[in-house]
Amino acid sequence: MNLLWLQSGGCGGCTMSMLCAEAPGFFDTLSAAGIDILWHPTLSEETGAEVADLLADIIGGRRELDVLCVEGSILMGPNGTGRFHMMAGTGRPMMDWVRDLARMARHVVAVGSCAAFGGVTAAGVNPADACGLQYDGRQRGGLLGPGFVARGGLPVINVAGCPTHPNWVTEALMLLADGAMATGDLDLYQRPRFYADHLVHHGCPRNEYYEYKASAHKPSDLGCMMEHMGCLGTQAHADCNTRLWNGEGSCTRGGYACINCTAPEFEEPGHAFTETPKFAGIPIGLPTDMPKAWFVALSSLAKAATPDRVRRNAATDRIVVSPTVHETRKR
């Protein structure tokens, strides 16, 4: 299986993240899966006419293309011409190249939330008319349109994240190489379910504090960041705390609130990322699948039952009260 990677409107952070794949590394993983990189703008040596000839051969049907990966949002402006992002040396807008190549590809993969939904590039008044490959924010459409289906029978596969976890990319590519991904393996927003069926909350080291609603009030506190610090880990679809970054980290493990970067329009929550909007003292964004009445009742009970150890540790930057040691009695 061969792969062509294009970068459009974005920061290149998904490629940087992808190169952190380890045990095995990115190139070893692709090689073991029988995946050959035809071209990547950062990793490949070919430039200029060599790349233009490759793209022309693919569009002309003289070269097969199994997977088209696009990183970064598509810049449609000004006025739908796409001339805010011309592919160097070709005289054509990047959006035209992507549209033509997508028609020839067996599978199309949007790498990162920018390519999937527009992402950070589409924030604010969006003067560049940035959008995703098959979504414009939460609305289906984007560059390729809501009805697009690649030759392999799948819509655009949105490996969303800002940036993506390197293993989300490699695992999606390995599944495609093995013919083991079907429409049912994608969720509502066409994200691979192998990571999108999880919540960031799963495996979070702050879960004891969450259970007792023992909350952090400032970034250095150990407590749960949902109530006051804007954490969306109980709503965010990703496995960041069970599939750790660089083998050991995640946003919440590093002391920063989850901002739900795998979701469309995460970049504009309507408030500061580190603030939790509330109504009558109750967070507006409740944990996934929990009715408001249950949350209020359970929160009240949990706070009333909070051990002093948990309450005190939640408001500090280190463990100040250790758990009691209970002797195990032999029968």
The amino acid present at 206, given as its one-letter code, is R
Residues 276 and 170 in one domain: no
Residues 204 and 301 in one domain: yes
Mean pLDDT of 145-172: 97
CA dist 130 and 91 (Å) reads 20
89 or 191, which is more confident: 191
Question: Total domain count for the chain?
Answer: 2
The pLDDT value given to residue 246: 85
The pLDDT value given to residue 106: 98
pLDDT per residue over 185-214, tens digit each?
999 999 999 999 999 999 999 999 999 999
Residue 327 domain-assigned (yes or no): no
Residue 284 domain-assigned (yes or no): yes
The pLDDT value given to residue 23: 77
Residue 161 domain-assigned (yes or no): yes
Among 98, 36, 113, which Cα is nearest to 68's? 98
The pLDDT value given to residue 11: 94
CATH at 228? 4.10.480.10
CA 232, 279, 277, 217 dihedral sign is: negative
pLDDT per residue over 3-39, tens digit each?
999 999 999 999 999 988 877 888 899 999 999 999 9
Kindly tell me if the per-residue pLDDT of 331 is higher than 90: no
Per the structure, the complete domain to which residue 25 belongs is given by 2-196
Q: What percent of the chain has pLDDT over 90?
A: 87
Residue 322 domain-assigned (yes or no): no
The pLDDT value given to residue 65: 98
The β-bridge relationship of strands 74-75 and 130-131 is antiparallel
CA dist 320 and 317 (Å) reads 9
Three-state SS for the chain is CEEEEEECECCCHHHHHHCCCCCCCHHHHHHHCCCEEEECCCCCCCCCHHHHHHHHHHHCCCCCEEEEEEECEEECCCCCCCCCCEECCCCEEHHHHHHHHHHHEEEEEEECHHHHHCHHHHCCCCCCCEECCCEECCEECCCCCCCCCCCCCCCCEEECCCCCCHHHHHHHHHHHHCCCCCHHHECCCCCEHHHHCCECCCCCCCHHHHHCCCECCCCCCCCECCCCCCCCCCCCECCCCCCCECCCECCCCCCCCCCCCCCCCCCCCCCCCCCCCEECCEECCCCCCCCHHHHHHHHHHHHHCCCHHHHHHHCCCCCCCCCCCCCCCCC
pLDDT per residue over 210-232, tens digit each?
999 999 999 899 999 999 999 99
Q: Which of 101-110, 197-206, 233-242, 273-282 has the lowest mean pLDDT?
A: 273-282
Cα 226 to chain center, whole Å?
20
CA dist 59 and 75 (Å) reads 21
Residue 95 domain-assigned (yes or no): yes
CA 289, 292, 293, 295 dihedral sign is: positive
Place of tokens 């088209």: 68
CATH at 183? 3.40.50.700
Residue 299 domain-assigned (yes or no): yes
Residues 192 and 208 in one domain: no
Mean pLDDT of 87-100: 95
Q: What average pLDDT does the chain have? A: 95
Kindly tell me if the per-residue pLDDT of 281 is higher than 90: no
The pLDDT value given to residue 4: 98
Give pTM, 2 decimals: 0.94
Among 301, 307, 306, which Cα is nearest to 324's? 307
Q: Which of 135-144, 179-188, 276-285 has the lowest mean pLDDT?
A: 276-285
Kindly tell me if the per-residue pLDDT of 256 is higher than 70: yes
